[in-house]
Amino acid sequence: MSVRSNPEASTLSPNSDNQTSNNRTAHGAMLLFIFFVSTSFPVGSAITHALDPSALTFLRFVIASGAFGLLLLVKKQWPWQGSGPGPLLLLKYFWLGFLLVVFFITMFEGLRWGSAVNLGAVFTLIPMMTAVIAFFLLGQRATLRLWVGLIIAALGAIWIVFGGSIENLLNFSLGKGELIFLVGCFSYSAYSPFVRKYHGGENLLVLTFWTLVAGMILLGIYGFDDIRTSPWGQLDWSIYAAIVYLALCNTALTFYLLKFASFRLPAAKVMAYTFLTPAIVLVIQSIISGSVPDMKLIIGVIITASAMIFLQRSADQSRND
C-alpha cells in the first residue's frame, strides 16, 4: 500500500482525451484500492478473535506469497536468478518483511481492543509519518501544500481517536488498540522509504514476492507455537474466506491497482485517497450494525476526508501553475 508515483504523470497534456480517460480510470482504480483497504478493518475485526494474530497473519502471508509466486510464473519472471538472492538481498527482504509483519500483527491485535473506525483513523496518519521518515532517510522534502493536507488529516484522525473529547486529548487517553496499531503504522510508514532507498533495480513484483516470503518465515519463527496449536480444523469456512479475501484482494489486487494509478496520477493525488479510509469504514460499520454513527465520529470523518479534497485540488493547482 505504499504510495509511489511516476513523475511523468503530472507532465502529460491535460487537454488530451486519452489522458483524461486514463486519469478517470486511475481515479477509479484508487477508489477501488481504498475500498479494499478500508474493508480490511471490519473484516479483520470480525475474525481477529478466531485465531492468534500471528497465526492469522501467517496464513495471510502464505496465501499472498503463493498468489505472487503464481503471477511471476505466469509472467515468466521467475524470481530465483542464478544461485538465488545473495546475503545483502536476503537481509533487505527480511527487513522489509519485518516491517510488514509488525504492521499486520498489530492491526489484528489492535482490532481486538479498538474499533475498526478508530483504527482506520490511525491509519490515515501513515502519510505524515512516511513524510517524516522519508525526510530523514532520503532527504525528501514535502511541499507546504502537502503538509497542510497531512495536518488536516491528522486533526481529523485525532478527533476520532480521542472521541472528540478535549479532556481525553489533554490526558492522552488513548485506547490500547489504537496505541498498539500506532506502532504498526509507524513500521508500515518506513516500508516505502526503505524500498526506495534499498531498491536494487529488481522488478517490483519480485521484490514484493521475496518480502512476503521473508515475512512468512519470520512469522513462522515468531508464532510457531500459536500456529502449531491453532484449531485449524475447527474454524468456520467464513474465517478462511475472510483470510483469503484479505490475502488476495487486500494484498495482490491492491498492489496492481496502486501501481496502475501511481503511473498516471501525481503522488499527492494518490496519497490523498488514504484519507477516505475512516469514511468508508464508518459506512461499512453502519450498514453492518444497522445503526446511525455518533455525530462526533461523523465530524472527525468529515475533517479527515476534507484533507483528500484539499490535496486533490492542490495537485491540480500545482500542475496549472
Domain residues for the domain of 79 are 14-320
The mean pLDDT value for 92-104 works out to 94
Is residue 6 situated within a structural domain? Answer: no
How confident is the prediction for the chain on average, in pLDDT? 85
Of the candidates 259, 252, 253, 256, which has an alpha carbon nearest to the alpha carbon of residue 62? 252
Q: Please, which contacts does 280-289 make with residues 24 or more away whose CB atoms are closer than 8 Å? A: 280/34, 280/35, 280/38, 280/39, 280/120, 281/38, 281/41, 281/42, 281/116, 281/117, 281/120, 282/117, 282/120, 284/38, 284/39, 284/42, 284/116, 285/42, 285/115, 285/116, 285/117, 288/42
Integer CA distances (angstroms), 301 to 32, 118, 121, 215, 220, in order: 19, 10, 8, 33, 37
Classify residue 69: in a domain, yes or no.
yes
Identify the pLDDT of residue 63: 96
Please tell me the total count of domains within the chain.
1
Residue 1 belongs to some domain of the structure = no
Identify the pLDDT of residue 7.
41
Please give the residue that has the higher pLDDT: either 17 or 168.
168
Residue 4, domain member (yes or no)? no
Give the pLDDT of residue 226.
Answer: 94
Does any domain span residue 203?
yes
pLDDT score, position 57: 94
Is 7 inside any structural domain?
no
- Indicate whether 9 belongs to any domain: no
The model's pLDDT over 171-182, given as tens digits with 9 standing for 90+, comes to 667 789 999 999
Tell whether the model's pLDDT for residue 10 goes beyond 70. Answer: no
pLDDT for the residue 6: 46
Q: What is the pLDDT of residue 66?
A: 94
